[in-house]
């Protein structure tokens, strides 16, 4: 569907769980092809995945070393600043 915000490069997407639907009636079928999808910045996504993995490993090491939850949160706050 066209974007409810009015932005031309956005679209509203509606999902329906068909498990509970007993009958489907097509009211309006699209004939035109949809616009191309925006390109993904693969290197940015890979970098984000690597950073999240490192953060999870750091948390796992802290837990295995017996660091308290408060200590972990303090470290994360200092690390982010």
Does a structural domain hold residue 49? yes
Does a structural domain hold residue 63? yes
State residue 33's pLDDT score: 86
Tens-digit pLDDT profile for residues 19-78: 888 888 888 887 888 888 888 899 999 999 999 998 888 888 888 888 888 888 888 888
Asked if residues 46 and 54 have their Cβ atoms less than 8 Å apart, the reply is no
Can you give the pTM of this predicted structure? 0.47
Cα torsion 13, 17, 23, 29 to 10°: value is 20
**Whole-number Å distance between alpha carbons of 79 and 77:** 5
Side-chain half-sphere CA neighbours of 74 within 13 A: 5
Does a structural domain hold residue 29? yes
In terms of residue numbers, what domain contains 53? 16-78
State residue 49's pLDDT score: 96
Does a structural domain hold residue 3? no
């Amino acid at each position: 569907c066209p974007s409810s915000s009015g932005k031309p490069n956005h679209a509203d997407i509606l999902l329906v769980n068909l498990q509970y639907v007993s009958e489907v009636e097509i009211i309006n079928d699209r004939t035109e092809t949809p616009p191309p999808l925006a390109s993904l910045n693969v290197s940015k996504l890979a970098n984000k995945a690597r950073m999240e993995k490192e953060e999870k490993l750091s948390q796992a090491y802290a837990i295995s070393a017996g660091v308290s939850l408060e200590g972990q949160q303090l470290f994360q706050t200092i690390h982010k600043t």
